[in-house]
Amino acid sequence: MNNNLYRKYRPLDFDEILGQPHVVKYFKNALNKQEVSHAYIFSGPRGTGKTTTARILAKVLNCKDPQGYNPCNKCENCVSINNNSFLDVIEMDAASNRGIDEIRNIRDSSNYRPVYGKYKVYIIDEFHMLTREAFNALLKTLEEPPSHVIFILATTNLEKVPDTIISRAQIINFKNLGQNEIVEGLKNIASSEGIEYELDALQIIAKRAKGGMRDAISMLEQVEKFGEMKITHQDTLDILGLFDENFIVQFIENVSNSKTDEFLAQSEDLFNLGKDPEILLEQAIEYIFESLITNKKDNLIQLMGAFNNILKDLKYSENKRLIFDVEILDFMYKNSTTSVPLPHENKKTPNRKQVATESVPNETQHPIMKKILDYFSDPHEKKSNMAIYFALLYSNPEIENDKIHFKFSSDQKLEFEILKKYVDELKVNIFLLIDGSYEITFSLEGGEVESLTQQKEKANLREKKLF
């Protein structure tokens, strides 16, 4: 089986390391002066070369014919380390081996001399995940290690490492790679593999990698397999689940100008395509941020902040579509700067795209329904809720005698789910708003009727002073 590209093109010496010139310079000087420390902490984002640098350092320390500060990559020791079969270089993933027993084994085995090389090198990846007991077991060995032992501890979360460990090691900070550095690296790999590419496709990959070369190479390989040795702009967008610039611009315009129907149509397209709203928000934030360089407008900054807050909520939500639609609609309503008639003042239809197209007199709307919609959409009302407002707005209410039934068609499942999410809030406020004289029910086409009104709760609800 062929190796993945990121393994195949892993740097074999310090000169091949990309985007970390300060790290290369540090070890070049240390090796030339023969002043190698007994313990290092490699700290930095994932995919920036921490483990790769640790392997190169282990090779040059055990190489039989070092070329200055670089390993020869030809002697049996170098070849063995490259093949992960060298007994004196021990790699451990602390994410799955985080207990005190594993560290005790390292502590005990470190007392034995190397089998083939000059040094025993222990590379512990993600070592911040060790337990407190494991850290304590490692302390004594780090403080007074045998002369033939070197520890290289790699982490993406230095803040989780105890100060007692940090004070016993040299800290080497790795940085994210620049977009241009990643693009150049991808160009070299594509040329070596005979892969055709469009430059803007590589730029998209480099941007999505967020400074990690390993992630960039993995994405390059993913797109290449889809395109059969060719990487195009459109294939890159499709495979990575990204949106083209026109879609992003239209999304920003719809939200900033409070174009409700256009936004809902875009949202429908987004979820029908199976794409992630988080990626859309990330790309929109990036687009706005870049626009701020030439167009520093307060409304853009406000919009970017709103997108960022919604993005945080989406990361911990099980129903992303509900949160995405509701919070965007809520933002559009609260930040509308134009005097657009409220949709409930227009003729209601079951189709979203037909809402707010034909103006009709307010008196044609049932007074109870108008009272409910006005209440939940009133920005001056403390208990207003735009999520409930939009859900009720797109329903088909049936008001007869002392009953109100909100019907939702099969293509209005989102609105139905919104109503279910806020069922308790809706129950209390509608009951108090119309003095409990109506029985409230709602249903989705093909489903059961659900009731908001329970007679036994009426006495308790009347005692609640919400507004």
How many domains are there within the chain? 4
Residue 402 predicted with pLDDT over 80: no
Examine the fold and report which residue of 273, 302, 334 is the final residue of a domain before the chain moves on. 334
Q: Please tell me the distance from the alpha carbon of residue 450 to that of residue 443, in angstroms, as a whole number.
A: 6
Residues 326 and 383 in one domain: no
How does residue 458 score in pLDDT terms, banded at 50, 70 and 90? Answer: very low
Residues 376 and 406 in one domain: yes
Residue 138 lies in a domain: yes
Residue 339 lies in a domain: no
Buried b / exposed e along 36-66 (16+ C-beta atoms within 10 A): eebbbbbbbebbbbbbbbbbbbbbbbbbeeb
Residues 139 and 190 in one domain: no
Residues 229 and 322 in one domain: no
Flag the least confident range among 171-175, 189-193, 281-285, 405-409. 405-409
- pLDDT computed for residue 435 by the predictor: 64
Which are the contacts of 202, defined by CB distance < 8 A and separation ≥ 6? Answer: 183, 186, 187, 190, 220, 231
Flag the least confident range among 3-7, 335-339, 346-350. 346-350
Residues 152 and 135 in one domain: yes
Flag the least confident range among 13-27, 56-70, 294-308. 294-308
Partner residues linked to 405 by β-bridges? 398, 441
* Portion of the chain with pLDDT greater than 70, in percent: 86
Residues 203 and 167 in one domain: no
Residues 130 and 193 in one domain: no
- pLDDT tens per residue, range 419-441: 777 777 777 777 777 766 677 78
Flag the least confident range among 80-94, 117-131, 370-384. 370-384
- Is pTM beyond 0.85 here? no
- pLDDT computed for residue 384 by the predictor: 65
How does residue 453 score in pLDDT terms, banded at 50, 70 and 90? Answer: low
Residue 441 lies in a domain: yes
Examine the fold and report which residue of 313, 334, 355 is the final residue of a domain before the chain moves on. 334
- pLDDT computed for residue 2 by the predictor: 56
Examine the fold and report which residue of 334, 369, 394 is the final residue of a domain before the chain moves on. 334
Residue 77 lies in a domain: yes
Residues 350 and 454 in one domain: yes
- pLDDT computed for residue 298 by the predictor: 67
Q: Please tell me the distance from the alpha carbon of residue 291 to that of residue 273, in angstroms, as a whole number.
A: 27
- pLDDT computed for residue 334 by the predictor: 76
Residue 337 predicted with pLDDT over 70: no
Quick count: other Cβ atoms within 10 Å of Cβ 310?
20
Mean pLDDT in residue range 69-86? 94
Q: Which residue matches tokens 């227009």?
A: 346
CATH number assigned to the domain comprising residue 236: 1.10.8.60
Beta-sheet strand order (sheet of 450-451):
396-400, 403-408, 439-444, 450-451
How does residue 273 score in pLDDT terms, banded at 50, 70 and 90? Answer: confident
Residues 217 and 327 in one domain: no
Residue 119 predicted with pLDDT over 90: yes
Residue 130 predicted with pLDDT over 80: yes
Q: Please tell me the distance from the alpha carbon of residue 308 to that of residue 337, in angstroms, as a whole number.
A: 21
How does residue 452 score in pLDDT terms, banded at 50, 70 and 90? Answer: low
- pLDDT computed for residue 437 by the predictor: 66
Residue 8 predicted with pLDDT over 50: yes
CATH number assigned to the domain comprising residue 277: 1.20.272
- pLDDT tens per residue, range 10-36: 999 999 999 999 999 999 999 999 999
Residues 302 and 397 in one domain: no
Residue 361 predicted with pLDDT over 90: no
Q: Which residue matches tokens 């850290």?
A: 135
Mean pLDDT value across the chain: 83
Mean pLDDT in residue range 298-320? 86
Residues 191 and 294 in one domain: no
- pLDDT computed for residue 345 by the predictor: 41
Mean pLDDT in residue range 322-332? 86
- pLDDT computed for residue 459 by the predictor: 42
Residue 467 predicted with pLDDT over 70: no
Q: Which residue range(s) make up the domain with 184?
A: 179-240
Residues 88 and 162 in one domain: yes
How does residue 225 score in pLDDT terms, banded at 50, 70 and 90? Answer: confident
Mean pLDDT in residue range 148-168? 94
